[in-house]
Amino acid sequence: MSFVGKVWKILVGIKDGLVLLFMLLFFVTLFAILSARPNPGQVRDGALLIELDGVVVEEKSVLDPIEALLSGTAPMSEYRSRDIVRALDAAATDKRIKAVVLDLTTFLGGGQVHLTEIGEAMERVRKAKKPVLTYAMGYADDHMLLAAHASEVWLDPQGLAVISGPGGSNLYFAGLLEKLSINARVYRVGEFKSAVEPYSRSSMSDEARQNIGGLYGALWEEYKAKIIKARPKLALARITSDPVAWIEGSGGDLAKAALDAGMVDKLGDRTQFGARVAELAGKDPWSKKPGAFAASDMGAFLADIGQKTPGKKIGVVTIAGEIIDGDAGPGVAGGRRIADLLDEALDDDLAALVVRVDSPGGSATASEEIRRAIQRHRDRKVPVAVSFANVAASGGYWVAMSSDRIFAEPETITGSIGVFAVVPTFEDAAARVGVTADGYRTTPLSGQPDIIGGFTPAIESLLQSSISGTYTDFLSLVSKSRRMPVDRVDAIAQGRVWDGGTARQNGLVDEFGGLDAALGWAAGKAGLKDGGWHAVFLGDSPENYDSLIRQLVSSRAPAATAPTSDLFAMTAQQREHLGTRIARDAQRLLGTRGIQAFCAECPVSAALPAPRNERTANSLSLLAWLAGG
């Protein structure tokens, strides 16, 4: 055989081997995808198992598969509140479901409104004469908002349960910036707009303390009222007024203290808990593992029950997370992306539109872009209702100004009508290392803005005027939408943050109710009867490879541990939160941002992680040009 013939046979062999390899990879991948997706055939008689190993959100963020695979870690799991509520309501009437189990071992929390909605759905399951059980290594404030509605609350004997209430400390960087000779130039309108205080002060101002104190107080009262109503035997006052005496009364045994105070009903490990569920829902016929019980996963159950789509369509657009310019999201409210969804829906013959908001705000220009897109539906005589979830503040309130009616819950955080911007300059820092700036100007604005040479009075005035003008626009929008005189709006604005109850009293909200109430009102306004409509969530899409990527990553990463397994684990976790907070605050100072209608002081937004860096469009505001320059 010639040399060329031998080479040709080798090349053909390599080609055939690669084809076989790629075919094998294709079928393995196909099998993995089909296995990862919820399978309705997996639903069986027994318990509905809801494993909340992450956070409850309004809208799930997109998982970047390349980033996850390269880093070997996936972002924390997210569960939509409406999915959990839908599963619970279906379980209440499904004859296959004998009990509901919520595994809260690695639950990381959620907003007060979302958890209240889930708790109410748990009550509906119990009214259907079906037991609801929870299990965890530790219960904290958010866990208890759910567990209080359970018929049996189980705690591991090595675990703990505590209720600490809202509040805590903020970080203030004025002293550090002074030592670094960084000049944080603050531009704001709103006496109570305290989002800029971390960069200009070393402590909380009296105005901010007054405002946040009132908000925390209202949220805490709502929390206590709902917990006591759901669990009357809970000794909440003893737990929160003197926690040291409460623990010492049980000899330092944290689990026994929780049992004695009525926070939990049973102490037992996972095997004992599983045996109890098996008594109620049946044993797992396919497993001999101790503590196994017959159960259906929530994902498979939701896939099995499907969605009913009778009658006409009512569109629901979700504005969740920080509002930023560009196409970012879901999980982050990219102004252009959401405006495009709304504009595409103009051709969908929607009977009505509901805007669901769970956002602390953000870019003023992006907020206005979304509001204008909503207004285009109103211009077509489409009824528009707005439903506030946990937080709809600043830009999150701005987007609601093109609506016919606003719904909120007593625990909703809203208002924060005010705007700000922070721009760092480095003239003093440069001078310390021997760098100075000089030149020739033809006008007061020549060469401005100059972050090394410093700002002239003219650019300072221009920047503040830009902020003042945006605030005036905000007031005008609220005045027109809420039918209030501008001076009345200004009196309740100034950056103040309100709870939903107070917001309803001062006219910022029309009535109490969640998403279902807003949908019902919109349907009635459109002349639709019950059963004659269904909700369509704009931009909602299947998870695609999300489950598969998480499975691949989790198989390579160490198993997650319960965040509240003991007090030392909780303390260690706070170190991780501290790093996130510092990085978020630094990004807010140094990142490219325009005029902000953002509620950085809102408790909910402060608890959320900062969004991952997204490629955003250039803002049209002067402040964005400045930061970008």
* φ, ψ dihedrals at 79, nearest 5°: -130, 125
DSSP state, residue 331:
S
Q: Decide: 199 and 184 in contact? Cβ < 8 Å.
A: yes
Catalytic residue among 394, 403, 565, 621: 394
Q: Decide: 367 and 335 in contact? Cβ < 8 Å.
A: yes
Query: In 132-268, which ranges are continuous DSSP H helix?
Result: 141-147, 174-179, 197-200, 206-230, 236-241, 243-248, 254-260
Query: In 235-317, which ranges are continuous DSSP H helix?
Result: 236-241, 243-248, 254-260, 270-281, 298-305
Across 172-188, b (16+ Cβ under 10 Å) vs e yields bbeeebeeeebbbbbbb
State the Cα–Cα distance between residues 166 and 604, nearest whole angstrom: 10
203 belongs to the catalytic site:
no
Q: Any idea which residue has 């190993």 for tokens?
A: 53
Instruction: Provide the terminal-to-terminal Cα distance of the chain, rounded to the nearest Å.
Output: 69
Q: CB neighbours of 216 closer than 8 A, spacing ≥ 6?
A: 166, 167, 603
Q: Decide: 319 and 333 in contact? Cβ < 8 Å.
A: yes
Q: Any idea which residue has 């959320």 for tokens?
A: 608
State the Cα–Cα distance between residues 415 and 40, nearest whole angstrom: 43
Please return the burial class of 207, using the count of CB atoms within 10 Å of its CB with bins 0-12, 13-18 and 19+. middle
State the Cα–Cα distance between residues 352 and 522, nearest whole angstrom: 6
Query: Helix, strand or coil for residue 478?
Result: helix
Radius of gyration of the chain (CA): 27
Q: Decide: 56 and 84 in contact? Cβ < 8 Å.
A: yes
Q: Quick one: which of 590, 475, 542 has its CA closest to 38? A: 542
State the Cα–Cα distance between residues 330 and 617, nearest whole angstrom: 16
283 belongs to the catalytic site:
no
Kindly state the tokens that stand for 497: 């943050």
Tell me the sheet residues that pair with 419.
Answer: 189
Rounded (5°) CA angle 321-579-60: 25
Kindly state the tokens that stand for 293: 């019980």
Catalytic residue among 60, 98, 130, 193: 193
State the Cα–Cα distance between residues 98 and 137, nearest whole angstrom: 24
Query: Which are the catalytic amino acids?
Result: 193, 394
